[in-house]
A and B are shown apart, each in its own frame.
Chain A
Amino acid sequence: MAVADPHPNSFLPLATDALLILLALASRPLHGYGIIRDVEERSNGSTVLQTGALYRMLRRLLRDALIEECDPPARETGDPRRRYYRPTRRGRMVLDAEIARMSRLVRAARETGAGKLPRLV
């Protein structure tokens, strides 16, 4: 069934959890626990992804074909229950689009001086 590929921008803005998961998977394939750990490390422990939230989001990302299942990396063999995920081409495009959108936002914010100084009024 040929369906027109939706434009990456139509997935924006990404939910925070979705963004964190895509970021975690951007460099290497990971399984569920690996993603939780990566997110935690990336945020210095300030963001802890809960199990339920993770799998609900994985389901949505799989549904939207932003990520896909893949073989485990060669050195991490073992438990067959562990499934590994990586971003699809579309997933990477969406991630890039989201990052670009956020940088534009940050740039706009910088121009107003927001976030630089403590504001008194």
Chain B
Amino acid sequence: MRTWICRIVLALSPGEFRSRFHDEMLDTARTLDRIRGADWRDSGRAIADAIWTICAIRHDLRVEHRLRIPTHRRQPMHGLWQDVRFAARGLRRDPWFAMFIVIALTLGIGASAAMFGIADRLILRGPLHIRDSARVVRMYLTASPDGRRQFTTNSFGYVSYELARRASAFDEVATYAVNDILVGDGATATIARGGYASAGLFPLLGVAPALGRFFGADEDRPGSAEHVAVLSDAAWQRWFGGRHDVIGRDVTVGSHRYAIVGVAPRGFTGPQLGAVDVWLPMSLKGPQTTAEWQTSWNAQWLRIVGRLKPTVTFARANDELTAIHRANYAGTRKPVAQARMTVAPLSANDYGVEAPEVSVVRWLSGVALMVLAIACANVTNLLIARGMRRSREMALRTALGARAWRLVRLLLAESLLLACGGALGGIAVASLLGALAHRFIFSAIEWGAFPIDGRVLAASIIFALMSGLIVGLLPAWRAVRTTLAAALKTGVREGRGQRSTLRHALTITQAALSVVLLVGAGLFLRSLWNVRAVHLGVDPDRVLVADVIHASLSLIADSAAKEAERTRRRDFTSRAIEQLRRVPGVEHTSAAVGLPFGNRFTSGTRVPGLATLPQMPSGPPSVSAVTSDYFATVGTRIVRGRAFGPDDHAGTEPVAIVSATMAAMIWPDQEAIGKCLISGADPAPCARIVGIAEDTHRSELREPPVMHYYIPFGQEVGFGGTQILARTAEGTAAATTGPEVRRALVALDSTIRYVGLSTIQEAIDPQTASWRIGATVFSLAGVLALIVAAIGMYSVMSYLVADRTHEIGVRLALGARGADLARVLLGGSALTAATGVAIGSLGALAVGRFVEPLLFDESARDPVIFAAVAAMVVIVALAAAVVPTWRARQIDPLEALRVE
């Protein structure tokens, strides 16, 4: 950041200063950037310093000049400076005009710069502090099981990491896993993000610690790993107040104390974009997954990254990894043995493809540029109008001997000056929009510093220069083209007789672009509406999910004591369900293993009499174990039969409730109730089906139908992870009931280390993010565009009326009625808008094909949306024409004719 600002300062400084201090100053700024990073306060100070310095150095030089070289030296840019001052004076005389243009450009430049800042991180640059990030890749495995959807994953076991290290395509290979961890003791414990990394990750990424050191290979040795930790800069500030003596102190993670050996530089998040609070040795995480974690093919918990050798292509790396994988796979899953390994850039999501957020960001960048285009069209229009008013002045200058390029320069100085104003405002708008977007739209991403960094600053300046040139060139060209004789002859009413086709074209362009944006807004709003209307089979915002975390059982050495503790915790669950029912605002409570939108349990399900279960793209049936009041708690309807009762628990008759899809798939044309289902490995008893529940979602909003069944809580074998659920009463916010629930649980058991609370809705929200982002930004941009376009149309109409005052006066004098006049003027405006609507609709249809995959159950050609947008634009156009029309009707024929 400082380096960039320094470059700008140097670029704008006098040559004498630049040549003397260039290298040195950049070196200092780089050192500062490297050692201190920059938060928004630093950045603000640096920007203020830059502006001050640029002015102050010029001032110094001026003073020196005055003292030592009194003779006036003609500078080559002298004329340009004069032009700028002249333009500034001209604009000061017309403050409303200048202000409107600056506002329009501010919005356009601000939106574009803010989007650039987001796209820069998400698409162009990726995570911070990675050296040559284009060569760093993440590994994926794609398998195609028979009859099921092909799946891609980036979760691997330690074995795959060991194999990947053999590949010659990489300079280095490292592995990491990011999980929720419990940090601190007792009441101060919090959930944080823990990054378990192999020691090689840091050198691979090329990151240097801000303080202390990263852990080394001897501290991450499987079997004898050290309890050491590296804090993120944010965690260091939050937990230790940024104190320098943090090295050597302890931090409690889970049930262990870790010695802090270093602090990562600010904004470092590893190879992914989400924040990581503490980095820990990967080898400490392994034993938590399974005892044989070093050799197991069944524990997938690691992501693998590699740095490609400079000459190696992605394809070669894919082939080599696949060959190594197939030759060495020793697990039992046939599809995985045949699987293909691939590598993808760090910006890819968990499935190895571009994340939906990234595609949305691409579209939003387009939207921002369209807002800028609309602003430019508008400003061009106004500048042409101004140019026409000034054509006599230009002609006079030409007559007095000014060259064409001199006039162009004068006009360009004006537009560039306006663009500079736009850039300043734009930077402010971009920092505001950026901060809002970081906070509310992309909150899962660690953004680190202030939304404006050197690159965004540079982008704003480039946008401003570009728009300055674009809006200035056309009016300048027109001004120069006007023939001298014609301009001087026209008299007072300049530009008369030319129905400016160019200006109409610009207005039509604005209307058309507004239509495209508004259609986009409509499509995304409808998608969001459709997403909300999806029948989920649960009431996601009314179900509070409590994850109760106790100390790890593995800490208890004595096996009898361990068993006693296990029983005690089981009792705790039933007591907790009882107790929570008494919390005000809670209607139903239950416990469950496996919840909608986060269920991964399958349990070797069989049905007597069927050799295999029907194959579905979504795979074999999933299972969850639930207590009696579960269905009432989450709001899943029992279609037929009964729900579980208080008598269904561990040790009673095995029963099951199947989902409607499962019943229809396995027992078509038969009554499923009363049939038998075998869940779990042999010798499992036959569970009698007692009810059929409506369908719910297994993990995603958009997923093919799934087979699912429920068994009573306590009857589950081979899977676990109890969550306690509370249904809040209608109209009670989960946020207010949450703390009560937490208090009630903690009061019940003093050994609880932490209670994690969330709603099922919170599990869904990330999946709806792309539609929410699309709807918000398209709507904002669309409304903005419409306002700017409306002002544009108003200005065209006003100008038209002012320009035709004489003509209107004559018509009125000859007996034209006000109504005729209104018809002509309003009709013209409506025609302009209608043309824009037609062109914009065609454009929206053409672009719509590409947006369609991003929509949710919504056609990109929805006629309702197109009709609504068309009506809106025409109405706004008419409204914009009302005032000028009224003004035209007020024209006094005598006055109008006397003007000449």
Contacts and interface: CB of A to CB of B under 8 A. Distances in A.
A31 B26 CA distance: 13
A32 B25 contact: yes
A67 to B, nearest CB: 14
Contacts, number: 64
Contacts of A36: 28, 32
B49 to A, nearest CB: 3
A33 B31 CA distance: 7
A109 interface: no
Contacts of A58: 21
Dominant SS at the A interface? Answer: helix
B2 interface: yes
B21 A53 contact: no
B28 A50 contact: no
Interface of B: 2, 5-6, 9, 17, 20-21, 23-25, 27-29, 31-32, 45-46, 49-50, 52-54, 56-57, 60, 64
A33 B28 contact: yes
A81 interface: yes
A104 interface: no
A82 to B, nearest CB: 6
Given A59-B57, A59-B60, A60-B60, A53 B49 contact: yes
Contacts of A83: 24
B46 A79 contact: no
A51 B17 CA distance: 14
Contact of A51 (B2, B54, B56, B64): B2
B230 to A, nearest CB: 25
Contacts of B27: 32-33, 79, 81-82
A35 to B, nearest CB: 9
Contact of B32 (A51, A59, A63): A51
Interface string A20-35: 0000000000011100
Interface residues of A, number: 20
Contacts of B56: 53, 56
Given A56-B53, A56-B60, A51 B24 contact: no
Contacts of A56: 53, 56-57, 60
B18 to A, nearest CB: 11
B9 A52 contact: yes
Nearest to B35: A33
Contacts of A79: 27
28 contacts: A31-B24, A32-B24, A32-B25, A32-B28, A33-B32, A36-B28, A48-B45, A51-B5, A51-B25, A51-B28, A51-B46, A52-B5, A52-B6, A52-B50, A52-B54, A53-B52, A53-B53, A54-B28, A55-B21, A55-B25, A56-B60, A59-B17, A59-B21, A59-B57, A60-B60, A79-B27, A82-B27, A83-B24
Contacts of B49: 50-53
A71 B601 CA distance: 71
Q: What 5 A-B pairs come out closest when comparing CB atoms?
A: A52-B53, A50-B49, A32-B28, A81-B23, A52-B49
Nearest to B28: A32
A48 B45 CA distance: 10
Contacts of B5: 51-52
Contacts of B54: 52
A52 B26 CA distance: 10
B839 to A, nearest CB: 49
Given A51-B49, A55-B53, A59-B21, 16 more contacts: A31-B24, A33-B32, A48-B45, A50-B46, A50-B49, A51-B25, A51-B32, A52-B49, A53-B52, A55-B21, A55-B25, A56-B53, A56-B56, A63-B64, A82-B27, A83-B24
A81 B30 CA distance: 12
A50 B45 contact: yes
